[in-house]
Amino acid sequence: MAETPPAETLPDRPARAAEDWTVPQDWDRYSAADHAMWDRLFDRQARMLPGRVVPEFIAGLDILRMDQPGIPRFDALSQRLMAATGWQVVAVPGLVPDRVFFDHLANRRFPAGRFIRTPAQEDYLQEPDIFHDVFGHVPLLANPVFADYMQAYGEGGLRADGLGAIEKLARLYWYTVEFGLIATPQGLRLYGAGIVSSNAESHFALEDPSPNRLGFDLQRLMRTRYRIDDFQQSYFVIDSFDQLLRQTVGTDFAPLYAALEQQSDFDTDTILPGDRVFTRGTQAYAHKKMQE
Ligand code: PHE
Ligand code: FE
């Protein structure tokens, strides 16, 4: 989930890994149980997502032929992705340092975990596994606009690091790439990888009366804390991937970071007078959790 924790919490680079932290996928080392786990997760999401996820995601599954059984091979996936948008998928042992992560994205490489969760971890994971990283993130990389956004985010990350603003920029990633919703003529749809790779959160983010659903506003969003331990209390809704690209690539973040230093953060459940409110959440879920 969180791709950008503080570097000091990370283990040393594994001895076998390259300078860029990539490792071989070692596809032959997956067991039958590993493949069966992928298939089970895949089938469950493939059944529930049509009508809930943005159509570009389904198109991506199709372009990349991800409906074939078993854990995908990164080399075959990269070949198709390269043909579509010039992106590749590379294996990493787990979370990587911020600059390594940004550098991969800036060069159109998506670093993906290669391990798959065990049955005991089926619905909750501390670290992103291959199902989250590949099923959640890769389909939209076959979309040219989203592909450009992800590359620009990587470049923006390297820049933000120099400006001491990674924490602010990470909120943009969180509320778009991981937990974003999009307004379509047919209604709200999911596109965030953290949502679409989770069966429970796919229902929660779209249908539960608990969370807020608020219009995307770059500056507001960069002031908003987020939850890494449970479902989000607020989701942000973009109008289109073009809008997302325009408002981020076409904006110099340096003055924004400077301004944000003087401004306080917002809580995860705050609704502001200026917010475009799609749903005013009851927060019933979060309140119930607090009492437990
Ligand atoms: N425009 C941002 C900057 O000036 C970079 C960026 C682009 C960040 C796209 C995120 C997404 O730093
Ligand atoms: Fe992720």
Please, what sign has the CA dihedral across residues 261, 265, 271, 272?
A: negative
Q: How far apart are CA 182 and CA 191, in angstroms?
A: 7
Q: How far apart are CA 268 and CA 273, in angstroms?
A: 15
Tell me the pLDDT tens digit for each residue of 16-37: 667 899 999 999 999 999 999 9
The two tokens of residue 149 are 């956004």
Does residue 178 belong to any structural domain of this protein? Answer: yes
Does residue 2 belong to any structural domain of this protein? Answer: no
Does residue 54 belong to any structural domain of this protein? Answer: yes
Burial (CB count within 10 angstroms: exposed 0-12, middle 13-18, buried 19+), residue 19? exposed
Does residue 1 belong to any structural domain of this protein? Answer: no
Tell me the pLDDT tens digit for each residue of 169-219: 999 999 999 999 999 999 999 999 999 999 999 999 999 999 999 999 999
Q: How far apart are CA 88 and CA 64, in angstroms?
A: 12
Q: Would the CB of 118 count as within 6 Å of ligand 1?
A: no
CATH of the domain at 30: 1.10.800.10
- pLDDT of 122 reads 82
Of the candidate ranges 167-171, 225-229, 232-236, the one whose mean pLDDT is the lowest: 225-229
Question: Which of ligand 1's atoms lies nearest the C-alpha of 160?
Answer: 12
- The number of domains in the chain is 1
Q: Would the CB of 173 count as within 6 Å of ligand 1?
A: no
- pLDDT of 121 reads 87
The two tokens of residue 28 are 């032959």
- pLDDT of 124 reads 72
Q: What percent of the chain has pLDDT over 70?
A: 94
Q: How far apart are CA 27 and CA 35, in angstroms?
A: 10
Q: How far apart are CA 36 and CA 40, in angstroms?
A: 6
Instruction: Give the amino acid at 208.
Output: D
- pLDDT of 11 reads 60
- Residue 228 pLDDT greater than 70, yes or no: yes
- pLDDT of 10 reads 60
Question: Which of ligand 1's atoms lies nearest the C-alpha of 245?
Answer: 9
How confident is the prediction for the chain on average, in pLDDT? 93
- Residue 7 pLDDT greater than 90, yes or no: no
Tell me the pLDDT tens digit for each residue of 64-99: 999 999 999 999 999 999 999 999 999 999 899 999
Of the candidate ranges 4-18, 229-243, 269-283, the one whose mean pLDDT is the lowest: 4-18
> What ipTM was predicted for this assembly?
0.92
- pLDDT of 18 reads 78
Q: In this structure, which ligand is nearest to the CA of 244?
A: 1
User: Count of residues for the chain?
Assistant: 292
- Answer whether 281's CB lies under 8 Å from 210's CB: yes
Does residue 64 belong to any structural domain of this protein? Answer: yes
Residue 254 C-alpha to ligand 1 middle, in angstroms? 9
Q: Would the CB of 113 count as within 6 Å of ligand 1?
A: no
- pLDDT of 290 reads 86
Q: What is the helix, strand, coil percentage profile of the chain, to 5?
A: 50, 10, 40
The two tokens of residue 57 are 């995601």
Does residue 245 belong to any structural domain of this protein? Answer: yes
Best residue among 168, 216, 248, 256 to mutate for probing ligand 1's pocket (most ligand atoms within 8 Å of CB) is 248
Note down the domain range covering 151.
7-291
The helix/strand/coil state of 111 is strand
